[in-house]
Chain A
Amino acid sequence: MIEQILNDLVLSPAWYYTAARGLTVIVILMSIAAYSVLLERKASAWIQGRVGPNRTNHPLIAWIPFFGNVLMRGGFIQPAADGLKFLFKEDALPGHVRKTFYILAPCIALAPALISLVMLPFGELPSGQIITLCPGADIGVLFMFAISSLGVYGIALAGWAANSKYPFLGAIRGSAQLISYELAMGLSVLTVFLATATPDQNNALSLVSMVKAQTGAWNILYHPVAALIFLICVFAEANRHPFDMPESETDLVGGFHTEYGAFKFGLFFVAEYSHMVIGSSLFILMFLGGWHILPWLPTVGTGIFATLLGLGSFFLKLAAFLFFFVWVRWTVPRFRYDQVMRIGWRVLLPIAVVNLLVYFIWYAVKG
């Protein structure tokens, strides 16, 4: 039996195929996260009238005649330098922390982000197969919500394990904020699924069928209120400005990661940006037509060309959305904690409920 398992696991080509796909997606996510850090630094510099990172270079890249200089000016080697810095710094372990959980917390923060990736569809092959890690799963969005919300456990655990006041406050804020915005988020998504899923449909909660339902108009045109609520909630769930309550450098000196440094802090960093990537991907898949190019124009061309164009369209939308995250961050000041709670419970939740009811009645009357 063990031989059988070994055969299945190690020797079967399907396993290698899956591992290779998994690695590819992780590498893509990691590099997107790294380069959104660069985007953050560059965009913030531009908004503030600065230039941003433009000095980092590597001799091998500097050697390329014209392109090397462009890469340096654009700061394209900066993420590597940032990552290496985190990797080679002294990994200090403060004496007053709860050690096991202190070390565990960054991993718990990052793991859900990576796990929820398996459900993300990126595009469609000419054969009709979906480019995703876990094809055929019909609970896509449910799984995404269930897993990606676990990310806050990392924050809560970090705040508690750090055994110090500011991280603790940050962790409490993070948990409260997640609970508050999860409700409105779920209700806004429900509205959309109410519209796209038919009662006898097999894979009603699948993100793929959600994208396929948007070959005509994109959902954002039919569900603008739901899209707005979802957008605000994505900002809140990803702990981004103006909802970066768990971190809020000014009043909590960094919040949950105050006591963290070196690579453990780097993991939190990557986790935050991964949540941004996943939140934006969800928004694109549910409201912006996924890999469809324009409303009423799902594909252009045929075969592999159409696939590549679809993938390009998805990643272009993702890049635009990540830029939007950054743009908002350098525009809007942080909400106060009570304002965050008020927006969540007294504004977004009622609007989401009314929105759901209106669509519910509309579909009931329409039949």
Chain B
Amino acid sequence: MAIKIVERRPLSFAEKTYLPQIIAGLKVTWDNLVKPPVTLQYPDERPVIPAGYRGVPTLVRDPHGREKCVSCQLCEFVCPPKAIRITPGEILETADNNHVEKAPKEFEINMLRCIYCGLCQEVCPEEAIWLQGQYSMTGKTREEMVNNKEKLYELGGTLPDSHYKWDKKKAEAERQQHGHH
């Protein structure tokens, strides 16, 4: 490695008095003083949340309003802190989407346990659970910090869908049924 010797210039008289440096420093702080503040007045002003932000996990519906979760419980199994608890349920015989067979009867995410790791979103085969822009969860009791199914869908809303997997399955099933005739 080449050694580069830096020349140490002796201090000039002005530098030895230290005063020009102080005046230069005062100018720097003055420039900062007249600049507008860079802080955000947090509760009044909210930060802009970038797309893809991984906040509180939520459940989403597809654009037709169908709940996407099929209650497979993969997220419940993968969740490292065991924050998710799912009670599976049947879909009514009369319902439009009854070929999906199952939907969660109850879906609870305990936000006191959740570590925002995003494994639930990654493991979900139905793209039903998403970590979205909600970043501040508060509550006065432990119960309030557990998001139930209703709350999760309220937070999640609707996300665009590019597959319509179950609609395709239904169409395929019907086509095959017609083929047998």
Residues in chain A within 8 A of chain B (CB atoms): 43, 45-51, 327-328, 330-332
> Of B25, B30, B32, B41, which contacts A332 at CB under 8 A?
B25
Give bound CA distance, A166 to B41, whole Å: 38
| Interface residues in chain B, defined as those with a beta carbon under 8 Å from any beta carbon in chain A | 22, 25-26, 28-30, 32-33, 35, 37-39, 41
Q: In the bound complex, how far is the Cα of B39 from the Cα of A64, in angstroms?
A: 27
The answer, among B26, B28, B39, B41, for a CB contact under 8 Å with A49, is B39
The contact of A47 among B22, B29, B41, by CB within 8 Å, is B29
Q: Residue on A with the closest CB to B23?
A: A331
Q: Quick check: A331 and B25 within 8 Å, CB to CB?
A: yes
A350 → chain B, closest Cβ, in Å? 13
Cβ-closest 5 pairs across A and B? A49-B38, A331-B29, A331-B25, A46-B33, A47-B29
**How distant is the Cα of A109 from the Cα of B148 in the complex, in angstroms?**
61
Contacting residues, chain B, for A47 (C-beta < 8 A): 29, 32-33
Give the docked Cα–Cα distance between A330 and B32 (Å): 11
B22 touches A50 (CB 8 A): no
CB of A50 within 8 A of CB of B26, answer no
Do B22 and A331 touch across chains, with their CB atoms under 8 A apart? yes
Can you give 5 A-B contacts (C-beta < 8 A)?
A47-B29, A50-B38, A327-B30, A331-B29, A332-B25
What's the Cα separation between A50 and B40 when bound, in Å? 9
Q: How far is the CA of A51 from the CA of B30 in the complex (A)?
A: 15
Interface of B is mostly: helix
Given contact pairs A327-B26, A332-B22, A332-B25, A51 touches B39 in the complex (Cβ within 8 A): yes
The winner among A43, A46, A327, A330 for most chain B CB atoms within 10 A is: A46
Shortest C-beta distance, A15 to chain B (Å), equals 47
Which residue of the partner chain B has the closest CB to A335? Answer: B18
Give the one of B29, B32, B35, B38 with max A CB within 10 A: B29
Q: Which residue of A lies closest to B28 (CB)?
A: A331
Residues of A within 8 A of B22 (CB): 328, 331-332
Give Cα A257 to B41, complex, Å.
Answer: 33
Residues of A within 8 A of B38 (CB): 49-50
Contacts of A46 in B (CB 8 A): 32-33, 37
Residues of B within 8 A of A50 (CB): 37-39
A45 to B29, Cβ gap below 8 A? no
Q: How far is the CB of B25 from chain A (nearest CB, A)?
A: 4
User: Which of A43, A48, A51, A331 is B26 in contact with, Cβ under 8 Å?
Assistant: A331
Q: Hey, which chain B residues are within 8 Å of A328, CB to CB?
A: 22, 26
CA distance A50 to B36 in the complex (A): 8
- Smallest Cβ distance from B24 to chain A, in angstroms? 9
Given contacts A331-B25, A331-B26, contact A48 B32 (CB under 8 A): yes
Which of A43, A331, A332 counts the most B-chain CB atoms under 10 A from its CB?
Answer: A331
- For residue B158, give the distance in angstroms from its CB to the closest CB of chain A: 38
Interchain CB contact under 8 A, B29 and A327: yes
Q: How far is the CA of A328 from the CA of B18 in the complex (A)?
A: 14
